[in-house]
Structure 1
Amino acid sequence: MNLPTTLMLRVSAAGALATLLAACSMGGLMGGGNAAQTQQLQNATATPAAVAQAQTNALPAIATQCPPIRVRPGGEAMFYYGSGRTGDARALQYQGVIDETSRNCVVSNGLITINMGVVGRVLLGPAGNQTSVNAPLRFAVERDGQAIYSEKYTLPVAVTAPARSAEFVKVIENVAVPYLGGEEITIWVGFDTRG
């Protein structure tokens, strides 16, 4: 027997063996196996207790979604005027604005663990010459209108000449919020200039 014929016989034998093994492993899927077990599975019905247990273990609707993140009305911008001339555009030293917000969530063991963040800018006004500005940001999480998390952060933002603006980014990680199901949860962010 020459080498090509031997090789072809080996390949044919390997293919036949693979087909035989595949057929054996698919026996249970194709109706093979113990007939009594198959009959038992075909006639199985869930008891009321089993249905109640499955419903208890099911995740509520809130757990399958990440709560929305919103900029708190009135907190989307901050303004600092010099010499007590509030509202005078020529006296504006700097302002801060929020450009983007983002969040993501992981649901596990009755908790929604939230990572939330914001991107914004500080812009110097006509009267501004600061090289550093503190941006006071507050992140909060509310459940049905009640705060369950609230934290204020002061971000130092460096403004390097000749630029008259600078970007800032703040990310808060691993805020764990218990969920019960059916409640309305909202993530808030905004400037908080109160003392």
Structure 2
Amino acid sequence: MGRDKVRLLALLAGLMMIPTAFSATQSPTKVFGWVEEGWLLPEKVSVKIKLDTGALTSSMDAKDLERFEKDGKKWVRFNVEVKDGETGEVVTIPFERPVERNVKVRGAGGADHRPVVKLQMCIGDSVYNEEFSLRNRGKMLYPVLIGRRTLEHLGAVDVSRTFTTEPRCAGSE
């Protein structure tokens, strides 16, 4: 058999394996748009969420960030500004959470040290307990960015769609 025939047979054998390999992986049951609405729990604050495949860790726009100690542990106090869906007015919601860890984030403006906290978030009909780095990001259209560490629990992202689901988690009505 000639060299070209061997290459062709190898190529065909490889192509025949692609559907098998693809179907062997579990495809996500949920598909979200690149922007969704969610609730921060237990406060049940409605926020616009950008599903950001370019970010590893999720982050949140946090105003008036203040570190403090409580019961010998490091905590952070911060405000989240969101637009009220009914009135259109900006509302400030206060939060306090223990600091899970600190991250060093490098960007065009240099290095930045940010606290990371755990927050519960309702997206669709599921509650996710995820880590968020906190930073005052100015007037952001999307106060919450969901990174890949969280996306792997959610499902697939269809970049051509937005607001595919409404938050409706049991027990948070």
Same fold (TM over 0.5): no
TM-score with structure 1 setting the length: 0.28
Task: Indicate the structure (1 or 2) with the bigger Cα radius of gyration.
Answer: 1
Higher strand residue share: 2
TM-score with structure 2 setting the length: 0.31
